Chains A and B, each alone.
Chain A
Amino acid sequence: MAVIVLVEHTEGNIKKKSFEAVQYAANIAQKTGTGVTAVVLGTVAEAEMTALGQYGAQKVLHVADARLDELHARAYASALMTAIQKEDSKVIVTLHDINGRAVAPRLAVKLKAGLVAGALSYPDMANGFVIKKAVFSGKAFAFVNITSDVKVISVMPNTFPLQSIDGKATIEKLEVTFGDKDFGIKVKEVNKVKGEVSLADAELVVSGGRGMKGPENWGLIEDLAKEMGAATACSRPVADADWRPHHEHVGQTGGTIRPNLYVAVGISGAIQHLAGVNGSKTIVVINKDPEAPFFKAANYGVIGDAMEVLPRLTEAVKRFKETHK
């Protein structure tokens, strides 16, 4: 009856957000008096897997098939189904990210199970199985009750702070018989931006709007981001004008992000923009117009010209890093 959790890794390194998913599963296991079984797919070293015990996994089911190093959602689903049957699981946890979103819905269908996509709370089991999630791109939250016997939950990354414990997971190999369609998708080409923080996962984000005036000024944003170790984002008109690549566009019709810190520079704070970033824990707004609506949604505000403020802020971060080494 263990809670099953899908663990993701990049080139063998288990991602931090997967620890969050494991910890989430552990919370449910504790409430339901069951355990946590993590499913790891592809090539991962044993030590990495054992360490999942620190977040509450008792057991790892490892499918050591190198084809699974790439996302093959149907194969992932088959592997998870094998694990679910083996463990007779009633609750399955994945992340609400690109991979999780390709896999969790397939499981939900196979199991005729209710799915909460993007969980923001642990389930409240006093009144059913109720989980909070964002709706209307963060303009509201819904409390969703899963009414089926089996439950699938995809957890919003960067939502549940990690607390490690002492613990080691035992590793078991899992044999899976894949169907002929499981590897139907052929990956032709992969282009990963190396070294840069990916926006969806970033804890710190520096974002620029039309107030940056033009692509030629983005060096200021990049300098600050680099100094802070932050990812960069932008408002929609900025991406529309091709000042920045489209994947940086955040908001209601772009990416939704929930970093710990969102620094908005020269962005007015239109409702559509806020919708994608209002889950950020702390918001800093730099804008020369004191009436900019964004100030109403911010924790810290700097009224000033971005061209002058940004270099100063970058310098300040540099000084801070030197004194806090």
Chain B
Amino acid sequence: MNATESVNAIKGGEFLIRDTPAASIFIPEEWNEEQLMIAETCTNFLAQHVVPNLNRIDEQEEGLMPHLMEEAGALGLLSISVPEEYGGFGKDFKTSMLVTEKLGAGNSFSVAFSAHTGIGTLPILYYGTEAQKAKYIPKLASGEWKGAYCLTEPGAGSDANSGKSRARLSEDGKYYLITGQKMWITNAGFADVFTVFAKIDNDENLSAFIVEKGFEGLSLNTEEHKMGIKGSSTRQVFFNDCKVPVENLLSERQNGFKIAVNILNLGRIKLGGATIGASKEIITQSVRYANEREQFGRPISKYGAIRYKLAQQVIRTYASESAIYRASQNMEEATEHMVATGMDEIKAKLKGTEQYAIEAAIIKVDASETLDYVVDEGVQIYGGMGYSAEAPMDRAYRDSRINRIFEGTNEINRMLTVDMMLKRAMKGELDLMGPAQKVAGELMSIPDFNAVDEEGLFVKEKKYIANFKKAVLMVAGSAVQKLMAQLGKEQEVLMNLADMLIELYVSESIQLRVEKLVGMRGEEACKEHLDMMRVYVNDAAEKINKSGKEALNAFAEGDERRMMLMGLRRYTKTEDLNTTQARRNIAAKVISENKYCF
């Protein structure tokens, strides 16, 4: 990649006002041989070490989870993107995403893995001093030490900066003494290293500290009893004048909230990857069951109602995945570009990720809700067996649910999506104003109701997506104008806008992916992919229409409202599509392959 290219690279959030050429995105069909081998190692690891032990894991058998982490560490899976000088493999972001995805099918193990390699390791890797990194990273990378992250408190969840934990300097100036209570701490039961957030004295903002298990004054509560991911250790961690050497302050005083936010950006997109890995596995199990289970003399996979579910599971998973790797590539390229122009690598990584924080929030919401849909229909396909604790859907269903809660609840992430978009516009980083005014102007002109008459596989969908952008710009632009500072309080409207942005981003991602894929493999080999794209974009139009309508009805009035509703209808109009046939085709493919095969 040359430098000029990435000057022109699409910025975070810019998808709303700018088109992306299909050739520029990364699609999972482009994994190279080495990456596929790594993926296979993950799959084999789960098959050999995790899946046969799921019950023991969920019973939290003493020592089992840390042992599994060590086994994963021995294979190198805990240090994919850790730099080589700290004992890692220095692989790119997409590869570490692929590992997260593959291990995402590992239920509670996946949570332990993600927490360790993400929030458990990255704060130190990204913000640590040389000495801190040299001391902690190699051991975390190998799995000898396990990591945890203590942000949430009984009184501070979504509002993370409001925590009550305090740190004060000891009289001899050698220690910070931390006092406070943290809750919902993943991996706490066996972690050796905790990144702990607390305010020093009466600071306004959090600071972060590296705390070792053995530091005086740290204690653990018992395991929480949870709905799902029962095998993941979750405990309260108490700090009672916990003695933390001053050199264990991470980054600068009051920089903790920044750290938390930046680590979350990464965590969100990674969570997307993990949930997609789980979705694929659930689809495979659903198809297998549907092919085996017979009722009324035929396998239930022959029934349209079941085929619909299978197709829908596949479409949503494929679409979410398209978005995840598109954004991952963006982050990676932005990072590479900054490194090429002289920035320190870690700084570049943080900046690169931050640049696409909007996309990360979108992906977190979309992929976690995709998994919830997939497991829900998985239970349904299994029927009574879906409700049995002896079949795999029970665990999958319960385990899925957490993903909409941690790494920022989906509500918080929806609000962030819109909030960040508008902030960037205010700061002049994104020119939303111009395009929004253009759309407003278009509303006044005579509409072009002509059907798309150009030929080409993607002409229609490209046009629809261009219209989706107009729909979002129209509703958002008018909301900002009408509600001004009140917008933040009109959360329902924010949710509507976020949903519109999500549908837009994911539609565009699946469209670009399929376009690139057809270029690689030809139309004949991509028939089902084309069907997936068509159905997804078609459904997105309906959803965008619905959300847009709700929002407009909430704040607009009179002629203006009527005009905008008309515009919305125009921007979400699609030609008739036999989605039933398209879904049948997609289902037929997975049914004949007896597994998720895209």
Of residues 218 through 270 on chain A, the ones whose CB sits less than 8 Å from some CB of chain B are 237
CB distance from B293 to the nearest CB of A (A): 6
CB distance from A132 to the nearest CB of B (A): 28
Binary per-residue interface labels of chain B (292-324) against chain A in the complex, 1 for a CB within 8 Å, 0 otherwise: 110000000000000000000000000000000
CB distance from A252 to the nearest CB of B (A): 16
CB distance from A135 to the nearest CB of B (A): 21
A237 to B52, CA, bound (A): 10
Classify the secondary structure of B's interface with A: helix
Binary per-residue interface labels of chain A (273-311) against chain B in the complex, 1 for a CB within 8 Å, 0 otherwise: 000000000000000000101000000000000000000
Binary per-residue interface labels of chain B (356-400) against chain A in the complex, 1 for a CB within 8 Å, 0 otherwise: 000000000000000000000000000001000000000000000
The residues of B that contact A237 with a CB separation of less than 8 Å are: 52
CB distance from A256 to the nearest CB of B (A): 23
Q: How many residues of A contact B (CB 8 A)?
A: 3
The residues of A that contact B293 with a CB separation of less than 8 Å are: 291
The residues of B that contact A291 with a CB separation of less than 8 Å are: 289, 292-293, 385
Chain A residue nearest to B293 (CB atoms) is: A291
Of residues 311 through 362 on chain B, the ones whose CB sits less than 8 Å from some CB of chain A are none
Residue among B289, B292, B293, B385 with most chain A CB within 10 A: B292
A237 to B47, CA, bound (A): 12
A237 to B48, CA, bound (A): 11
A293 to B293, CA, bound (A): 9
Chain B residue nearest to A269 (CB atoms) is: B292
CB distance from A82 to the nearest CB of B (A): 50
Chain A residue nearest to B385 (CB atoms) is: A291
The residues of B that contact A293 with a CB separation of less than 8 Å are: 292
CB distance from A115 to the nearest CB of B (A): 34
A319 to B52, CA, bound (A): 40
CB distance from A139 to the nearest CB of B (A): 14
A291 to B293, CA, bound (A): 6
The residues of A that contact B52 with a CB separation of less than 8 Å are: 237
A237 to B293, CA, bound (A): 24
Chain B residue nearest to A241 (CB atoms) is: B52
A293 to B289, CA, bound (A): 10
The residues of A that contact B385 with a CB separation of less than 8 Å are: 291
Chain A residue nearest to B48 (CB atoms) is: A240
Chain B residue nearest to A292 (CB atoms) is: B292
A293 to B299, CA, bound (A): 12
CB distance from A1 to the nearest CB of B (A): 52
Of residues 228 through 250 on chain B, the ones whose CB sits less than 8 Å from some CB of chain A are none
CB distance from B99 to the nearest CB of A (A): 26
Of residues 33 through 92 on chain B, the ones whose CB sits less than 8 Å from some CB of chain A are 52
CB distance from A35 to the nearest CB of B (A): 52
Chain B residue nearest to A271 (CB atoms) is: B594
Binary per-residue interface labels of chain A (173-200) against chain B in the complex, 1 for a CB within 8 Å, 0 otherwise: 0000000000000000000000000000
Chain B residue nearest to A293 (CB atoms) is: B292
A293 to B294, CA, bound (A): 11
A237 to B51, CA, bound (A): 13
A134 to B129, CA, bound (A): 64
A215 to B289, CA, bound (A): 29
Chain A residue nearest to B288 (CB atoms) is: A293
The residues of A that contact B292 with a CB separation of less than 8 Å are: 291, 293
Binary per-residue interface labels of chain B (270-294) against chain A in the complex, 1 for a CB within 8 Å, 0 otherwise: 0000000000000000000100110
CB distance from B378 to the nearest CB of A (A): 16
A59 to B293, CA, bound (A): 58
A291 to B390, CA, bound (A): 13
A26 to B160, CA, bound (A): 87
Chain B residue nearest to A210 (CB atoms) is: B52
CB distance from B249 to the nearest CB of A (A): 50
A314 to B403, CA, bound (A): 51
Binary per-residue interface labels of chain B (502-546) against chain A in the complex, 1 for a CB within 8 Å, 0 otherwise: 000000000000000000000000000000000000000000000
CB distance from B468 to the nearest CB of A (A): 43
A256 to B541, CA, bound (A): 56
CB distance from A237 to the nearest CB of B (A): 8
CB distance from A129 to the nearest CB of B (A): 37
A291 to B301, CA, bound (A): 14
A203 to B118, CA, bound (A): 57
CB distance from A283 to the nearest CB of B (A): 17
CB distance from B45 to the nearest CB of A (A): 16
Chain B residue nearest to A296 (CB atoms) is: B292
CB distance from B200 to the nearest CB of A (A): 54
Chain B residue nearest to A237 (CB atoms) is: B52
Of residues 110 through 158 on chain A, the ones whose CB sits less than 8 Å from some CB of chain B are none
CB distance from B117 to the nearest CB of A (A): 29
A237 to B289, CA, bound (A): 21
CB distance from A59 to the nearest CB of B (A): 54
CB distance from A269 to the nearest CB of B (A): 10
Give me the interface of A with B, judged by CB distance under 8 Å. 237, 291, 293
- What are 6 pairs between A and B in contact, CB < 8 Å? A237-B52, A291-B289, A291-B292, A291-B293, A291-B385, A293-B292
Closest 6 CB pairs of A and B: A291-B292, A291-B293, A293-B292, A237-B52, A291-B385, A291-B289
